[in-house]
Structure formats: structure tokens, C-alpha cells
Amino acid sequence: MERLLPAAEEGGRTGRVIEILMLQALAHQTQGNVPAALACLERVVTLAEPEGYVRVFVDQGPPMASLLRAAAKQGIARNYVRRLLAAVSETEHDSPVKQALIEPLSERELDVLRLLGTDLDGPDIARELMVSLNTVRTHTKNIYAKLAVNNRRAAVRRAAELGLSRTRNRQP
């Protein structure tokens, strides 16, 4: 990453710079070097805030939430960090806490599963999620494999049995 960062900076690829710095922050945190992690995170936040980046932080899950809480205590970009923590917290509450599956469903697969429990057909689901029909079909195939079912109704029923039914009842 040490090599990639200068190249991304020279190329004006801010999104890549943010991703690289974020990974460095998480790596420092994993190594127990919180001051270095916070220094990287402060730089990330400085670059990300003007563009309103949120998802890249949320996607990092609990390790990033922990780092953001530490940043909040340090007073780093107070308002933006609070906004990011709220987004991380909201995502944690929306996700099933535990899935009794060998391979858990991804967030996107959970989105597709939720819509499988509605009256929408494949093309409507694709429009709702703003993806191609082939993408919906791929996600559906993965859902069926992970839930060990072979049709839509069985997938919805199995999701309810596993406690994933919350995803079914949320409004699109």
C-alpha cells in the first residue's frame, strides 16, 4: 500500500486514496497502533467529508465503528464522524445479528431476498435495486444455494425459519 498511495495521489484518484488510507488505518488498529490508525483516519475523514462519503466507512463494519468511536473521543471532524457513526449503527441494527448458515447472505442478497417476499417479479426487483436482471438472477441463484432451496417461496419460508424474516417485512 505504501507504493500505491503516492501513485493514487499523483493521479488525483481521491476515492482510491481514501480506500488505501482506510485500509492502512484498519491495519494499524489491528496491530494495536491506535495513534497511527487515528492519524490515517483523520486524513481519510478530511478527504471524504467534502464528497460526503459514507458507504466506504459503513462497509468496513465493526472495526471501523470502533475506530470512529475513538476518533469521536479525540474530537476528529466531530459532525462528520457522528454522521458516520449513526450510519454504522443503523446498518448494524438492520442486519440480522446472526445467520445460521455456513455461508451468510451478503447485504445485497438480503435486499434481493426481502424483495422475493413481495409480489415483484425479476425485472421489477432489478429496477427497484437499480441493477440488471442478470445480477438479480445471480443473487437469487446464490440465495437458493445458501438456503438450500430451489424456489422463491421456499427461500422466503426458509428465511423466516432462520430469523431472517425481518428482511422480508421491511418496506422497499
The total of other beta-carbon atoms located within 10 Å of residue 18's CB is 21
CA dist 61 and 87 (Å) reads 11
In angstroms, the CA 127 to CA 117 distance is 16
Burial of residue 119 (number of CB atoms within 10 Å: 0-12, 13-18, 19+): exposed
Q: What's the CA gap between 1 and 63, in Å, rounded? A: 19
For residue 23, give the nearest of 168, 138, 15 by alpha carbon.
15
Closest CA to 58 of 34, 93, 28, 105: 93
Q: Given this model, what pLDDT does residue 92 score?
A: 57
Separation of alpha carbons 16 and 24, rounded Å: 12
Q: What is the pLDDT of residue 18?
A: 93
Return the pLDDT at 2. Answer: 79
- Per-residue cell: 43: 486524513
Ordered by start, the domain boundaries in the chain are 4-94, 107-169
Cβ proximity of 72 and 82 under 8 Å: yes
> How far is residue 63 from each of residues 53, 107, 125, measured CA to CA in Å?
17, 17, 32
Identify the pLDDT of residue 168.
39
What is the structure's pLDDT at 169? 39
Instruction: Render each residue's pLDDT in the chain as its tens digit; 172 residues.
Output: 778 999 999 999 999 999 999 999 999 999 999 999 999 999 999 999 998 888 889 888 888 999 999 999 999 998 999 999 888 877 655 554 445 567 788 889 999 999 999 999 999 999 999 999 999 999 999 999 988 889 999 999 988 888 775 543 343 4
pLDDT on residue 72 = 92
Q: State residue 55's pLDDT score.
A: 86
Decide: residue 152, CB within 10 A, 0-12 exposed, 13-18 middle, 19+ buried: middle
Q: Enter the CATH code of domain 107-169.
A: 1.10.10.10
